[in-house]
Structure 1
Amino acid sequence: MDDRLLAETVTITGADGAELEAYAARRLDPAPRGGVVVIHHMPGYDEATKEMVRRFAAEGYNAVCPNLYTREAPGAAPDDAAAAARALGGVPDARLVGDVAGAAAYLRGLENSNGRVGVIGHCSGGRQAFLSGCSLDLEAAVDCYGAFVTESVPEGVPVRVGPIGHLAKDLSCPLLGLFGAEDKHPDPQATAQLEELLKEHGKEYEFHTFPDAGHAFFAVDRPAYRPQAATEGWKLVLDFFGRHLATA
C-alpha cells in the first residue's frame, strides 16, 4: 500500500466567488476516496485543526479545511484572525454554507474522488457542520459539541447567530453527534431537544454523550482535553465516515 501523504495550502472558491486559503491533505495513490470537509473551531484555522486534516488523510480520506476568516484577516495568526472575526459577530450562516460548498466542490473535483463528501466540525464548527448538512447535498455530517443549534446565544458571547434546530427537517444526510455530559453549551437538555427534532422528522442520526467530558474534549492542546472520550470519539467518527463515505 502506498501510504505517502501530500499536505499543502491551497486556494478554494467560497461564497460569492471569494478566494479562500485552505489546508488540504490526501493520499498520493490513485484509489477512489471519499472526502471530508473539516470546519475549524472559533479559535481559528490553527495547527490543531490542520493536524485533524492530516489525520483524515492518513486514515484514507481526501480532506480540506477552509480558512473561514480569510476575508477578515488574510495571512494573520490564528488568534488575531479569530479576534477579528469575533469582533464582527462570527461567520454569517449564509457565507459559511457557501464556503463549505466550495470546499466540497474542491474535494469532488480531485481526480481520485469517489464523489462522496462528509463534513465535521467542533464547537462553532459543530453547529456549522449541522447547518451544512441541512443546507447542502452531503453524504455525512459530524457535529462535535456544536453550541447554539437549538438554544439561543447567551448575553456576552461574541457571536451573532440564532438557533437553527428548525432546519432539522432539511437534513440531507446521516448525522453523528458527539457531546460531553458536563458541557454547558450545548448542555444535555439542548442535545435532547435536537434529538427530538431529528426523531420528529425521521432523520438518520446517532448521538453519543461522554459522562466525564465537557466542552472541547477533543482539543489536545487545551485543558478540556479528555483522552478517553477523544479516543472513543475518533473511533466513532472513523466508523461513521467508513460507512457513509466509502466507494459505493
Structure 2
Amino acid sequence: MSPVEHVGLCHLSAPAGGSRRLNGHLARPTGPGPRPGVVVVHEALGVDDVMLRQVQRLARAGYLALMPDLFTQGGVRRCLVPTMRAALSGTGRAYQDIEAARAYLAALPDCTGAVGVIGFCMGGSFALITAGRGGFQAASANYGMLPKDLDALAGACPVVASYGGRDRALQGAAARLRTSLDRLGVVHDVHEYPQAGHSFLNDAEVGPRPLRPLFRVMGMGPDPEAAADAWQRIETFFATHLSTPHTEKAES
C-alpha cells in the first residue's frame, strides 16, 4: 500500500474564500516521476479508511492522489449539510477547497501539471460541476447527483461516469447525463451497471453499523464485479486524457 501523507492546504484555500482549516491526504506512486495528479473528493460520510484506500489505489495506478477533507473545519455534523448544498447548487467554499487541492498537486515538482478529479457519491456531484469550470483535464463522477443545470457542462473536460441501476435515488441519471454530454459535445464514457447500487465502488460497507442493514436493503454497498469494470474504465480514461503535461505547470 502506498503510504498516505497528511498535508495542509489552508494556505491555498483560505485566501481564495475557502476553508480557514483544510487538511489533505496525499498518496504518491512508486518509481520516478513526473506523474499526473488526481484530486479525490470523498463521499458524504467523509474521509474514512475506505476513502483512503481509494486514494492509495489511484497512487498504485500511477497518479499523485490528493483527497481534501471538506469537513476539516467543523467536522461531519457541522459541515455535511452546507457541503451537500454546495454539491448541488454549485456555490460554496468546498469549490475553493477542491481548487486548492488541484493547485497544490499542479505545483508539486513531481507532477506533470495535468490534474484530474474523481468523486464518489457527494464527491461525484462536485466532480461533474468542477469538470465544467476549467482547470481539470479529466473528471470521473461516480453515482453523484446531476447538476440542476446540465448546460453548465458545456465546454467541460472529458468525463467518465459510473452509476448503479439499483441506486433508487439516481434512477435514469446515467441516461440523462449521457444525453446531455452528447448534445454539448463533451467527450465522455457514461455507463450504468444494472446489478449495482449506490457506493458500489467501495471495497467495504461504510456508515454506522446499526444503519448498514438498512443500507443493504436500499441497495447500497460494494459490488466487486461492477467495481472492477468501472475502475478499468476510469484508469483507461485517465491514462488517455492525463498523459499530456499541462501548460499551467510551466506558467506556475
Q: For the superposition of Structure 1 and Structure 2, which TM-score range results when normalised by the shorter chain?
A: 0.7 to 0.9
1:21 to 16, 20, 23: 23
| 1:33-72 matches, cutoff 5 A | 33-72=35-74
Taking structure 2 as the reference length, what is the TM-score of the superposition? 0.82
Whichever residue aligns with residue 43 of structure 2, its letter is H
Asked whether the 8 Å contact 1:181–1:212 carries over to 2, the reply is yes
Whichever residue aligns with residue 16 of structure 1, its letter is G
Give 1:85's aligned residue.
79
- CA separation in 1, counterparts of 2:224 and 2:55? 19
Asked whether the 8 Å contact 1:97–1:131 carries over to 2, the reply is no
Give 2:118's aligned residue.
120
- CA separation in 2, counterparts of 1:201 and 1:180? 24
Secondary structure of residue in 1 paired with 2:190: strand
Taking structure 1 as the reference length, what is the TM-score of the superposition? 0.83
Secondary structure of residue in 2 paired with 1:117: strand
Deviation at 1:100, TM superposition (A): 1.2
Q: What CA deviation, in whole Å up to 9, does each residue of 1:132-177 have, x standing for no partner?
A: 1112321100010112x15xxxxxxxxxxxx242312141x10001
- CA separation in 1, counterparts of 2:83 and 2:4? 31
Give 1:204's aligned residue.
187
Residue 225 (structure 1) aligned with residue 219 (structure 2): no
Asked whether the 8 Å contact 1:85–1:91 carries over to 2, the reply is no
Asked whether the 8 Å contact 1:101–1:136 carries over to 2, the reply is no
- CA separation in 1, counterparts of 2:143 and 2:149? 15
| 1:59-208 matches, cutoff 5 A | 59-73=61-75, 81=76, 83-88=77-82, 90=84, 92=86, 93-94=90-91, 95-147=93-145, 149-150=146-147, 163-171=148-156, 173-188=157-172, 190-208=173-191
Deviation at 1:191, TM superposition (A): 2.3
Whichever residue aligns with residue 80 of structure 2, its letter is R
Measured on the aligned residues, the alpha-carbon RMSD in Å equals 1.9
Q: More displaced, 204-213 or 217-226?
A: 217-226
More helix by share: 2
Structure 1: state its 5+ residue gaps: 74-80, 151-162
Deviation at 1:86, TM superposition (A): 3.1
Q: What CA deviation, in whole Å up to 9, does each residue of 1:93-119 have, x standing for no partner?
A: 332221111111111111111110000
Report the count of equivalent residues. Answer: 222
Secondary structure of residue in 2 paired with 1:185: helix
Residue 241 (structure 1) aligned with residue 238 (structure 2): yes
Secondary structure of residue in 1 paired with 2:240: helix
Structure 2: state its 5+ residue gaps: 206-215, 246-252
Q: Stretches of 4+ moved more than 4 A in 1?
A: none
Secondary structure of residue in 1 paired with 2:72: coil
Give 2:6's aligned residue.
9
